[in-house]
Structure 1
Amino acid sequence: MLDRTTPGRRIVAIRVVVLLASLAGLNYIVWRWAASVNWSSWWIAVPLILAETYSVIDSLLFGLGAWRLRERGEPPAAPDPDTLETRVTVDVFVTTYNEEVDLVMRTALAAQRIRYPHTTWILDDGGRPEIRAAAEAAGIGVITRSDDWADRPRHAKAGNLNNALLSTEGEFLLILDADQVPKPEILDRTLGYFKDERIALVQTPQWFENVPESDPLGSQAPLFYGPIQQSKDGWNSAFFCGSNAVLRREALMQLGVARYVTEVEAAVRRAVRTSRKLLVRAREEAVDQPRVLEALDDAETVVERARAEFAAGESIGDVTYRFQRSIDTIAFRFADADLAAMKGDLADLAAMSLGPDTFDALDEAALDLLAQRSSSPLAAIESISLLVGALDVDRGSEAQAIMPLATISVTEDMATAMRLHGLGWRSVYHDETLAIGLAPEDLATMMTQRLRWAQGTMQVFFRENPLVQKGLSWGQRLMYFSTMWSYLSGFAAVVYIAAPVLCLSFGVVPVQAYSVDFFARLIPFLVLNQVLFWVVAAGRPTWRGQQYSLALFPVWIASVTTAFQNVYRGRALGFSVTPKTKQAATGPRWDLVRPQIWAAACLVAALVLVGVRYATGQAEGIAPLVNIAWVLFDLVIFSIIVRAVLYPGPSAPHDKEPS
């Protein structure tokens, strides 16, 4: 859909609805906390009010974004490639790992046909000879990992891009996934924005050709690649989505250098602090060893001097170098003293004219004794030296010292954009389909993809919470936070399933009374929320997205818990490239949606039980009726899971399934 200038009448309508929906949400949730929590059933009443509070905050964040929704007009003209003063250079990167050769070459050949002058590169992270042969036959360059990456962290797609960045020179980079076939005009429609020298990123939508109109797997995301990104664009927080984006090399390299300096400084400061702790521990262990204590005194002087130099703002490299050399000097001095003493002892032994066997035995014993900590301070000092050496400015544990694309999550895009915004760079969301891709064609692949996206987002949240990141405006912080916040919906979904089941099955009511006060507050909030979606979406379908936000609750919960375990407990997430074609048919995969099936079964069972309770006179009043409607709504939501399991995939790339 082509971008338009946001009409004044439309933005006024959006803001009026945002204001009304926000007031209705706040009115409802404040009243719920103050007057309607059934504390006698606190064990479900409290989770329910917390889930509702979560939903109101989610609505407020959505409304805040929509307040500045920005529909850009016709893009500025691209720089004239025939004029020396305006000419710019562009590298087009097609990233691949294990995708089929034909699929990769389809995208690469389309990239080669882009009208604006550029150089096309295939970034083959699999290092496959067949890719190189096909690319070279077509006159397309291939970049693979250098030997520097051997036995070092590879950082998946981020590492692939970082490797290519240091092997190319284009001022701008168009990044494409292996399945995202670009249109010839993609650079003509995006490069003009970079006339603003503070623009670092222009993101365009992802649209998929192999998705039927009914979109049973929820692949098209028209709400995100439209109003949500446009809303973020209004707050200068439209972010990189991994493909179909043009980035300014200068911005990326500045980011890489800035992160390098920040991370090395933090690492070295931690090392110096840790050195101090090691010295304290070493003193405790060597309290009766004067020689060791003397060495530790000297080492402590070195540590304190390094701390003072850092406080004075001296160069990290200079401080680290002097620190390491000083520790080495202490170690060498005592090693020399130990060796000199040993030589004297051995000379005395030789003068006694003992037999060669005896001399060899004494030599071996002396060397063993020297290696013991009780005889030498070397071990304590060496542990300090090695610690700082491992965190020096060369970053020897990484293939590259400079890593412009963020490597802190399994998805490199959001964190990179957030860091760019933190440095003061700007971004653009251009709402025009300029590349056509392939979406997952089966449920298993779709769920793998969604899990990876969600895990990557939550890794960024746990490692670099946008609410506390320096350099971001308060609006940018909230826009990034709103995306991360949305993945917590899985926990709220569990409560929204459990509450009506408990009410219908056992008569447990988490609300004090379903009174006029309750409905007078709840209904306006629900209605205005839907009106807000309708006004903001401007005709784009949003129902499928709403269904999957609840129906994939196990995926969202898994993403949060696994990302937490990864960040705080060091457990590996693993990384898998999303297959671009349907996987081998094994029949309907009901095992993939077992939690949803159990949830739906509980909802159906609750309807049966409430029928029994009505028949026996145990159910009365409006509460069961409200919860019956709630259960029916949940079942309609979960119906999409059945369709997804039974979906056979498109029979041909352009087949359209009837609505």
Structure 2
Amino acid sequence: MPFLPRPASRFQTQVPWTPLPYSPLHETVWQFLCTASLVFGAWYIGWRWLKSLNFDALWFSIPLLIAETGSFIGLVLFTINLWSAKSPLRGALPVSARDCSDDPTTPDRPVSVDVFFATYSEDPELVRAGLQAAKKLTYPHPLNLQIHVLDDGKRPTMEAVAREEGVNYITRSDNVGFKAGNLRNAMAVTSGDFIMICDADMLPFPSFLEETLGYFRDPKVAWVQTPHWFYDIPPGIPLPAALERRLGAVGRGIGRLFERMFGPVQLGEDPFANDPQLFFDVILRRRNWANASFCCGAGSIHRREAVMEAALRQWSDQVSAAAGRNEKAARQLTGEAAISESISDVMRWQSALEEEFQPYKFHVSEDIYTSIVLHSDRERGWKSVLHPVVQSKMLSPNDLLSWTIQRFKYAGGTLDILAHDNPLFRRGLTLPQKLMYGSTFYSYLSPIWNVVFLISPIIFLFSGIAPVAGYSLDFFLHITPFLLLNELSQLVAMWGNSNAKGRAWYLAMFPLNLQALWAVVRGRKISFPVTPKDRQVGTYGRLVRWQIGVAALTVLGLIWGWACYGTGREGYTLGAMIANTVWGLSNALSMLPVIRAAYWQPDPVYEAAIVEGVKA
């Protein structure tokens, strides 16, 4: 029974997004608005520090002010990230390997590409679908294309699928390094000029190489990343159609009237905020101007020379550092002022034997780690490109457990790099690159201040104690221009993309990110779990108990607070109630998407589509 990617009938006709066009006028408007937003934001933060502290409740006032300051710093970094949408131009497709090199001795032969499908426990038939798609890759010039299955599961069934599809099967005796080790092992037994990385569930489009290889005419380009696109995301049901199911023609009319007033509404769409367009088409794409778009693993293609040379340079630096430490220890032990050259050579040789050569870093986030290593190679000046056009499709996490496993790995892996190999202190990175990587790492510290933002209105609503000197006209005059300009600037920056869902999940992910942060602080090793490719059965209320608690306490606090205001209790002024009601409701509403995702069940039509696909 052949495998058909989930689901087979209903969503196969979905097409990926079209990249936002670059507009100098649009970029100028955005830059003006974001600059104005930051100016008013700095004015507000300065006023908060100098004029608004509640000295009768410093235990409350100071943590909130620190949280606001931390959040504002994050906004500054995010603004730098989005500053420009300019990207490098793609060159003509290379006819031969010589077209991709600045070495005149490079042979005039066809370009060679190795396509890696890394797999461990995924369904072999799922991998087969990707292999069949890879065999349809097109290129207008002679091309040496080799497709490889990198099976860390050592499964006879997977080997049989590779043999049936006429592709190479690669395995190894151990699983050291997990995916990074799997890629490294494959590099040792292959020789292509370029390496195309595919996850087990990835289906590359035939045009993948035609869309990406042109960038490599610049001999400094080390890799090109293409966007991830999840073709199995439920598209939802239009509000008029959903209401028609329950209320007939009257419901359809109500739905149409609502959409005329507030715009299109889709019920049941993407309950897990998996749509990655905002990340790839806005955030990562706008790092091209700083040569700081990082690799995201699947959907990327790498210059083998860059990966190997950067790894060799890093290995050499590690050997020199280790030898230096050994020489220092020897001098302290012997009391000698210097070590003889022969002994020094032996120590260096021993260090070379002990240090591991790592083309791909053994790390849960090997993709971003490799990006940092390549970007910091100042001598070669390696470049990266985010190509904005989708060139493959993949499966998304379809339940909150799978989603949580994936996002914990992202958060924990990134924070582990921050703790043990902070790119801000890494030699070789330019200042813009450090700011871009800093923006990524800083965003994972957000739960520290997000927790303060979530509990602050609750504290006020139940106690009447304000975190500011007073919710006076002066307060609203300082905060309102900043909030309005910030909202407007974000709207312009993400023209065509909704930031509301992403912002809600960013706030609601605080328990997961806190758990990842605490794991790294304790020195716990972040594991390499494989994200499940099949929907896990059941609901996951236990995963959202903190979000439910925040939402419930906020609602109860609002009831209590307005009751206190109605009875004239001290501290519950109208300005304070308005500010904390808007704040609290925004927090509570931000918790709802993740709570809904925990209890979400696919539409029966969606399930029927999956069954149809399996039967086919």
Give the TM-score, by structure 2 length: 0.84
The one of 74, 92, 105 aligned to 1:77: 92
**Aligned match for 1:244, one of 299, 306, 310:** 299
The alignment partner of 2:338 has SS state of helix
1:81–1:88 Cα contact (<8 Å) kept: yes
- Which aligned pairs between 1:254-403 and structure 2 lie closer than 5 A? 254-276=309-331, 279=333, 299-301=334-336, 304-306=337-339, 319-323=343-347, 392-395=351-354, 401-403=356-358
Report how far residue 63 of structure 1 moved.
Answer: 1.1
Q: Does 1:405 align with 2:360?
A: yes
Q: Determine whether 1:106 maps to 2:129.
A: yes
**Do 1:112 and 1:119's aligned partners in 2 also have CA atoms closer than 8 Å?**
no
Q: For the residues of structure 2 that align with 1:2 and 1:615, how far apart are their CA atoms?
A: 52
AA at the equivalent of 2:204: P
For residues 109 and 162 of structure 1, the distance between their equivalents in structure 2, rounded to whole angstroms, comes to: 24
- Residue 144 (structure 2) pairs with residue 129 (structure 1): no
Structure 2 vs 1, CA of residues 653 and 421 (structure 1 numbering), >3 Å: closer, same or farther?
farther
1:467 corresponds to 2:435? no
Q: Does 1:46 align with 2:42?
A: no
Change (3 A) 1:643 1:234: same
1:620 Cα deviation after fit: 2.8
The question of whether the paired residues in 1 share the 8 Å contact of 2:397 and 2:533 is answered with: yes
1:168-187 alignment, distance < 5 Å: 168-187=190-209
Answer yes or no: is 1:219 the counterpart of 2:274: yes
Correspondence 1:575 to 2:602: no
User: Retained in 1: the 8 A contact 2:41–2:482?
Assistant: yes
Q: Is it true that 1:432 corresponds to 2:389 in the alignment?
A: yes
Counterpart-to-counterpart distance in 2, 1:517 and 1:18: 23
Question: Any conservation in 1 of the 2:30–2:489 contact (CA below 8 Å)?
Answer: yes
Q: Which residue among 404, 408, 412 is the counterpart of 1:451?
A: 408
* Residue matched to 1:606: 557
- Render the CA deviation track for 1:535-593: whole Å, top value 9, x for unaligned: 12120222211110001111111111212322xxxx3332211011112x23x211111
Structure 2 counterpart of 1:596, which letter?
A: Q
Q: Distance in 2 between matches of 1:86 and 1:2?
A: 35
Q: Which structure has the bigger radius of gyration? A: 1
**Aligned match for 2:496, one of 539, 544, 559:** 539
Matches within 5 A, 1:53-68: 53-68=69-84
Shift of 1:165: 1.0
| TM-score, L = length of structure 1 | 0.79
Task: Please say if 1:194 is aligned against 2:216.
Answer: yes
Cα distance in 2 for residues equivalent to 1:164 and 1:128: 17
- Quote how far apart the aligned CAs of 1:72 are: 5.6
Structure 2: state its 5+ residue gaps. Answer: 1-16, 99-106, 236-268, 611-616
Structure 2 SS opposite 1:614? helix
Residue type of the alignment partner of 2:93: A
Deviation of residue 87 (structure 1)?
2.7
| Residue of structure 2 in register with 1:422 after alignment | 376
Distance 1:22 1:654 in 2: 48
Q: Distance in 1 between matches of 2:496 and 2:19?
A: 14
Deviations 1:16-36 (A, max 9, x none): 112111112111111111111
Cα pair 2:299 2:392 within 8 Å, conserved: yes
Give deviations 1:227-263, integer Å, cap 9, x for gaps: 1112211111000001100110010011110111111
Q: Does structure 1 conserve the Cα–Cα contact (< 8 Å) formed by 2:562 and 2:577?
A: no
Which residue is 1:639 aligned to? Answer: 592
- Cα displacement (A) at 1:57: 1.1
Q: By how many angstroms is 1:319 displaced?
A: 4.9
- Distance in 1 of aligned mates of 2:344 and 2:307: 27
Q: Secondary structure at the match of 1:175?
A: strand
The one-letter code matched in structure 2 to 1:29 is I
Structure 1 residues 587-606: aligned runs within 5 Å = 588-606=539-557
Say which SS state the counterpart of residue 191 (structure 2) adopts.
coil
- Are the structure 2 counterparts of residues 642 and 608 from structure 1 closer, same or farther at C-alpha, using a change threshold of 3 Å? same
SS at match of 2:211: coil
User: Where does structure 1 lack aligned partners over 5 or more consecutive residues?
Assistant: 280-298, 310-317, 324-387
Taking the aligned partners of 1:100 and 1:457, their CA distance within structure 2 comes to: 28
Moved more, 615-624 or 124-133: 615-624
Residue identity opposite 2:422 in structure 1: N
2:115 counterpart SS class: strand
> What is the root-mean-square deviation in Å for CA atoms of aligned residues?
2.2
Q: How far apart are the structure 1 equivalents of 2:480 and 2:128?
A: 53
3-state SS, counterpart of residue 557 of structure 1: helix
Where 1:208 maps in the other structure, the secondary structure is: coil
Instruction: Answer yes or no: is the 8 Å Cα contact 2:77–2:439 preserved in 1.
Output: yes
Q: Is the 8 A contact 2:38 2:76 kept in 1?
A: yes
- Cα offset, 1:413, TM superposition: 1.0
1:89-100 paired onto structure 2 within 5 Å: 89-100=112-123
Contact 1:405 1:412 in 2 (8 A): yes
Distance 2:462 2:216 in 1: 60
Q: Per the alignment, do residues 652 and 82 of structure 1 end up closer, same or farther by CA in structure 2, a change over 3 Å counting?
A: farther
Distance in 2 separating the partners of 1:321 and 1:605: 72
How far has the Cα of 1:322 moved from its partner? 3.3
Deviation at 1:15, TM superposition (A): 1.2
With 442-451 and 259-268 compared, the bigger mean Cα shift is at 259-268
Structure 2: distance between partners of 1:573 and 1:261: 27
The equivalent of 1:353 in structure 2 is: none
> Structure 1 CA distance, aligned partners of 2:427 and 2:272?
38
C-alpha contact 1:72 1:430 (8 A) present in aligned 2 = no
1:367 equivalent in structure 2: none
CA distance in 2, matches of 1:491, 1:255: 35
- Identity over aligned pairs, percent: 34
Q: Quick one: distance in 2 between partners of 1:653 and 1:263? A: 56
- SS of 2:82's equivalent? helix
Residue in 1 aligned with 2:467? 510
Query: Tell me, what secondary structure is at the counterpart of 1:121?
Result: strand
SS in structure 2 opposite 1:252? helix
Q: Which amino acid aligns with 2:351?
A: D
Per-residue CA deviation, residues 602-629 of structure 1 (Å, 9 max, x unaligned), is 2122112213312432133311221011
- Secondary structure of 1:635's aligned partner: helix
Partner of 1:373: none
Match of 1:159 among 165, 181, 195: 181
